[in-house]
Amino acid sequence: MTRAEKVPMRGPDGKLQDGQQLAEGTIVAIRGGVVDVAFAAPVPRVHALVRAGSVAMEVAALLENGVVRCIALGSTRGLGLGMRASSTGGGIEVPVGETVLGRMLNMFGEPLDGLPPPAATERRLIHQPPPPLSERVLRAEVLETGIKAIDLLSPIERGGKTGLFGGAGVGKTVLLSELIHNTVEHHHGVSLFCGIGERSREAEELWREMGEAGVREQMVMLFGQMNEAPGVRFLIGNSALTMAEFFRDDRGQDVLLLIDNIFRFVQAGSEVSGLLGRMPSRVGYQPTLATELASLQERISSTRRGSITSIQAVYVPADDFTDPAAAHIFSHLSASVVLSRKRASEGLYPAVDPLASSSVMLTPAVVGQRHYDIARAVRRTLAEYEELRDIIAMLGIEELSAHDRATVARARRLERFLTQPFYTVTASVGTEGKLVPIAETLDGCEEILAQTHFDLPESAYYMIGGLSELEAVA
The residues annotated as belonging to the active site are 172, 198-199
What lies within 8 Å, CB to CB, of 108 at 6+ separation is 56, 92, 94, 239
Picking from 316, 189, 359, 324, the residue whose alpha carbon sits closest to that of residue 258 is 189
Looking at residue 253, its amino acid is: Q
Buried b (16+ CB within 10 A) or exposed e, 270-297: bbbbbbeeeeeeeeebbeebeebbebbb
Kindly provide the residue ranges of all beta strands, DSSP E only, lying in 77-139, ordered along the sequence.
84-87, 93-96, 103-105, 122-125
Backbone angles phi, psi at 462, to 5 degrees: -85, 130
Backbone angles phi, psi at 110, to 5 degrees: -90, 150
Kindly provide the residue ranges of all beta strands, DSSP E only, lying in 278-421, ordered along the sequence.
307-315, 335-338, 358-359
| Number of residues written out for the chain | 474
Kindly provide the residue ranges of all beta strands, DSSP E only, lying in 271-356, ordered along the sequence.
307-315, 335-338
- In Å, how far are 288, 319, 326 from 323, measured between CA atoms? 15, 9, 5
Give the pairing type, strands 84-87 and 190-196: unpaired
Distance of CA 450 to the CA centre of its chain: 38
What lies within 8 Å, CB to CB, of 421 at 6+ separation is 429, 431, 432, 433, 434, 463
What is the DSSP track for 205-232? HHHHHHHHHT-GGGEEEEEE-TTS-HHH
Determine the 3-state secondary structure of 161 from DSSP: strand
Determine the 3-state secondary structure of 238 from DSSP: helix
Q: What whole-number distance in Å separates Cα of residue 5 and Cα of residue 438?
A: 56
State yes or no: cis peptide before 261, omega within 30 of 0.
yes
Q: Give yes or no for a contact between 21 and 85, defined as CB atoms under 8 angstroms apart.
A: no
Q: Which helix (H) or strand (E) holds 57?
A: strand 55-62
Helix 262-275 and helix 230-245, axial crossing angle in degrees, nearest 10: 130
Q: What whole-number distance in Å separates Cα of residue 396 and Cα of residue 393?
A: 6
